[in-house]
Structure 1
C-alpha cells in the first residue's frame, strides 16, 4: 500500500482531481436528493428513505438511484 500523503505534500494536479471528484460527488447527491423530494412514492422503485440513505454512498448511491430507483413514465422500455 502506498504511503499516505498530506494535503501539503500533494501535487497541484492531485489536489485538483480530489476537489473535482468531491464537487461531482456533491452534485450527484444533490441532484438525487432533489429528484427524490419531488417524486411521489409511487414514482420510485422501493422506499424513498432507502434511496435517500443510498445517496450518501459515494458515487454509487446517486448513480444507482438514477439507473434503478426511478420508475419510467408509462411502459417505456429501459434503454440498453
Structure 2
C-alpha cells in the first residue's frame, strides 16, 4: 500500500490480505502474552518485561519470544 492509496482504493484481495495479516499479528501477540503470564520466571530466558515489550514489535517480537524466550 503506497502513501497515497486509501482503503477503498484497494482491491478486495489486498484488503483481505491486510486483514488476515493483522489477525495473525494480533493472534501471535496474544499467544505470546498469555504464555508469558503462565510461565514462572525460571521458565523465561531474560526479563519478562523485556519480552512483553518485544511482543509489541510486529511479527518479530512474538516469534522471537517463542524461538528464544522460553525455556523448555
Per the normalisation by structure 2, the TM-score is 0.95
Q: Relative contact order (C-alpha < 8 Å, sep 6+): which is higher?
A: 2
Name the one with the larger helix percent: 2
User: How many residue pairs were aligned?
Assistant: 71
RMSD: 0.9
Distance 1:65 1:57 in 2: 11
Larger radius of gyration: 1
Where structure 2 has 5 or more consecutive residues not aligned to the other structure, the ranges are: none
Distance 1:44 1:4 in 2: 43
Question: Structure 1: where are the runs of 5+ without partners?
Answer: 73-80
- TM-score normalised per structure 1: 0.86
Q: Aligned runs of 1:26-37 on 2, under 5 Å?
A: 26-37=26-37
Shift of 1:3: 4.9
Q: SS where residue 23 of structure 1 aligns?
A: helix
- What secondary structure, in the 3-state scheme, does the structure 1 residue paired with 2:5 have? coil
